């Protein structure tokens, strides 16, 4: 392998993740400075585009899409439809003073329901979180109780507050939160084509809520767009402390709890389950990069970075995304 090829291989992961216009700019600069490296890199990029590259250099989305297509090809035309999911017996039932109306969402540990006050005292809507019956275990019961205890510490306009809590008929803990009607922060920004100032304002609201939680000794540990809802008034609301923990020195977490969201989790959290203020700050950084730059800070979409000990590469500076794709990122506005 000559020096130009080796250099091209070292640049491949960085260039393959770039948006097409930005990649063209970077390739033009490389052609002027290192023509032999440029030629070798073009061959690698062309091979990847033709699917001639190995599976470790292919997009996981592409790998899964190809696999899905092959599986669909094997399916019989007369295949019977999948059996419907069994009805959730909690819907329509009473839990404490609350009547459960519908399922809002399911997470790794619990199910969240919309509910209303049903004891004739006053009217209120809440979101009730219950432990999923099929995941009942002493560790998860303890985790639910810990989440409830930590939420009881928090009283901030940017965090969905604890309203009530108790134990169901099977001895499993539940708790009710202020109901938040809103959209995930990324969808809110993109649908309204918000500029950089409006996005930064929302991020500052999120940072204020996280800083408050840290000041109360609480880590979130799963900061991502779906856990930050924006209300119709444009206020950020931080949700789902299901993986929360007490603030303390960086340490490893129990291994049996639901997995973190890998694309937003810090390397030490992904690899060792470590938790600390820095892991929340890392997730905030990724969230900021996604909202302001429209892309991931480091190449995440090749399979090689997912291998143990692999280096995901240095992040691309956000100002390098200027002009990448008009309308795709706040920086392009």
Check: CB of residue 217 under 8 Å from CB of residue 281: no
Residue at 260 is within a domain:
yes
Range of the domain at 15: 3-61
pLDDT in tens, 211-222: 999 999 888 888
Query: Residue 116: which pLDDT band, with cuts at 50, 70 and 90?
Result: very high
Check: CB of residue 270 under 8 Å from CB of residue 247: no
Residue at 191 is within a domain:
yes
Q: How many CB atoms lie within 10 A of CB 321?
A: 23
CATH, residue 210: 1.10.510.10
Strand ranges (E), 157-260? 162-167, 173-178, 183-184, 218-219, 228-230, 236-238, 245-246, 251-252
Residue at 68 is within a domain:
no
Find tokens 């059996």 and name the residue.
Answer: 83
For residue 187, the model assigns a pLDDT of 92
pLDDT in tens, 175-209: 999 999 999 999 999 999 999 999 999 999 999 99
Residue at 144 is within a domain:
yes
Maximum separation of any 2 CA atoms in the chain, in Å: 80
Lateral strand order in the sheet of 236-238: 183-184, 228-230, 236-238
Residue at 44 is within a domain:
yes
Most confident of 4-13, 46-55, 78-87, 163-172: 163-172
For residue 311, the model assigns a pLDDT of 52
For residue 313, the model assigns a pLDDT of 58
Residue 33, H or E segment: helix 20-33
For residue 254, the model assigns a pLDDT of 47
Domain count, the chain: 3
- How far CA 238 is from CA of 107, 202, 207, 241, in Å, comes to 16, 11, 10, 9
Q: Per-residue b/e over 257-292, b at no fewer than 16 CB within 10 Å?
A: beebbeebbbebbbeebbbbeebbebbbebbbbbbb
The span from the CA of 325 to the CA of 22, in Å, is: 8
The span from the CA of 217 to the CA of 213, in Å, is: 6
For residue 32, the model assigns a pLDDT of 82
Structure tokens at 145: 């109780």
Same domain for 227 and 208, yes or no, is: yes
CATH, residue 172: 3.30.200.20
Q: Is 99 helix (H, G, I), strand (E, B) or coil?
A: strand
Same domain for 259 and 188, yes or no, is: yes
Same domain for 188 and 174, yes or no, is: no
User: What length does the chain have?
Assistant: 333
Find tokens 């280096």 and name the residue.
Answer: 311
Residue at 34 is within a domain:
yes
Catalytic residues: 222
The span from the CA of 184 to the CA of 201, in Å, is: 15
pLDDT in tens, 68-107: 555 555 444 445 555 566 678 899 999 999 999 999 887 6
């Amino acid at each position: 392998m000559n020096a130009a090829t080796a250099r091209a291989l070292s640049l491949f992961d960085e260039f393959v993740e770039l948006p097409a216009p930005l990649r063209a700019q970077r390739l033009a600069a490389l052609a002027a400075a290192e023509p032999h490296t440029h030629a070798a890199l073009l061959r690698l990029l062309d091979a990847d585009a033709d699917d001639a590259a190995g599976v470790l250099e292919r997009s996981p989305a592409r790998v899964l899409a190809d696999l899905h297509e092959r599986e669909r090809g094997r399916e019989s035309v007369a295949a019977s439809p999948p059996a419907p999911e069994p009805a959730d017996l909690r819907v329509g039932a009473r839990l404490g003073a609350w009547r459960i109306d519908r399922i809002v969402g399911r997470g790794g540990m619990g199910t969240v329901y919309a509910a209303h006050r049903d004891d004739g005292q006053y009217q209120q809507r809440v979101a009730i979180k219950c432990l999923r019956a099929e995941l009942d275990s002493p560790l998860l019961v303890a985790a639910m109780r810990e989440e409830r205890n930590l939420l009881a510490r928090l009283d901030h306009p940017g965090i969905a507050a604890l309203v009530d809590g108790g134990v169901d008929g099977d001895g499993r803990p539940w708790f009710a939160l202020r109901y938040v009607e809103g959209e995930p922060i990324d969808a809110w920004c993109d649908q309204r084509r918000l500029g950089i100032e409006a996005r930064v304002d929302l991020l500052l609201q999120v940072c204020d809520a996280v800083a408050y939680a840290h000041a109360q000794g609480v880590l979130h540990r799963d900061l991502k767009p779906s856990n930050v809802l924006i209300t119709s008034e444009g206020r950020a609301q931080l949700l789902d402390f299901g993986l929360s923990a007490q603030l303390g020195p960086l340490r490893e977490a129990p291994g049996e709890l639901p997995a973190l969201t890998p694309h937003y989790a810090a390397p030490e959290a992904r690899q060792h389950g470590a938790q600390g203020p820095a892991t929340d700050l890392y997730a905030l950084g990724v969230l900021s990069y996604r909202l302001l730059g429209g892309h991931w800070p480091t190449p995440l979409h090749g399979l090689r970075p997912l291998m143990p000990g692999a280096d995901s590469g240095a992040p691309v500076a956000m100002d390098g995304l200027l002009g990448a794709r008009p309308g795709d990122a706040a920086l392009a506005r």
